Amino acid sequence: MISNPYSGNLEQQVLCADPIELVGIMFDHLVASIMEARQHLLSGDRTARGRSIAKALGLVGELSRSLDLEKGGEIARTLRLLYGFVANRLAEAQGNQLEQPLIEAAETLRPLQDAWKELAVSRSSEAPLPLS
């Protein structure tokens, strides 16, 4: 069974999150939605699969729209392409009821999800600056 990032008080997490934590939350929910879509595909639950893929597409869209192409330069442009690839894989999975595009989408996103988690951990372990 997949750990459910939706459990707990999501609203409180989002309201208290800084931008780094918020992106991490989005990645957690995105990958979880893709894995849920895969489970629903395998169980034959078309409605639930469609809901999970729609949720994942919404999150990919939010991540893509949050990119600042001017300030982010090449990294932002590369991320936009990657998010486009993931969105295409999700659409392929939904349109053709295929598992492989869901696997590819999740595998593409996991390194980014892990990197955001590492960033959040490294930031939380840093000593706060003294107030002057």
pLDDT in tens, 101-128: 999 999 999 999 999 888 888 877 665 5
What pLDDT was estimated at residue 105? 98
pTM: 0.83
Higher pLDDT, 60 or 8: 60
Q: Is 63 a residue whose pLDDT tops 80?
A: yes
The answer to whether 25 touches 104, Cβ cutoff 8 Å, is: no
What pLDDT was estimated at residue 16? 77
What pLDDT was estimated at residue 122? 84
Give which of 121, 117, 101 is closest to 27, Cα–Cα.
117
**Whole-Å CA distances, 124 to 13, 21, 114, 117:** 15, 10, 15, 11
Q: Is 1 a residue whose pLDDT tops 50?
A: no
- How many Cα atoms occupy the beta-carbon half-sphere of 123 within 13 Å? 12
Name the token pair of 115. Answer: 């990197």
Burial class (CB in 10 A: 0-12, 13-18, 19+), 63: buried
pLDDT in tens, 18-52: 878 888 889 999 999 999 999 999 999 999 999 99
Name the token pair of 8. Answer: 């707990």
pLDDT in tens, 65-105: 999 999 999 999 999 999 999 999 999 999 999 999 999 99
What pLDDT was estimated at residue 4? 55
